[in-house]
Amino acid sequence: MNLEKVVFGFFITLAAALNFGFFLGPLDSVHLHNGIELAAALVASFIATILKFGDRTQLGAVHLATSLVADLQLIAAAAVWIVTGSQAGGLTGEAMSVVVSLSGGALLANVVSVVLLVSEIMPSRR
């Protein structure tokens, strides 16, 4: 068993799982989406991105691209959360729907990354 691949797979899956947990629920419900979970998804996504820099293969480049997309989407979601939360009206349902939608884009990128990871493993087992 290769420990590097275990850690790599762990953080890819963790980023997807945390993002999925944040994404679940009505788009505009401020009380059902936790900012700490969004922050944890962002941190896990950053770690997964850093781990992807060492791979020099074509599939590694696609892994890195999907991770960068997820990072940008989550950074934008966190920025919207912070900016709207600091305004006088606070975080509204409209702003939360933007945050959750951006998180959904990151979730899609995370799912693509997990599918790539699984598809990379399947041929080596046969």
One DSSP character per residue, 52-121 reads HTT--SHHHHHHHHHHHHHHHHHHHHHHHHHHHHHSTT-S-HHHHHHHHHHHHHHHHHHHHHHHHHHHHH
Q: Tell me the one-letter amino acid at 43.
A: V
Structure tokens at 7: 């850690």
- Proportion of the chain above pLDDT 90, given as a percent: 57
- Proportion of the chain above pLDDT 70, given as a percent: 98
What's the predicted TM-score (pTM) here? 0.89
- 68 by Cβ neighbours in 10 Å (0-12 / 13-18 / 19+) ranks as middle
How many independent structural domains does the chain possess? 1
pLDDT in tens, 75-89: 999 999 999 988 888
Domain that includes residue 27, residue range: 3-125
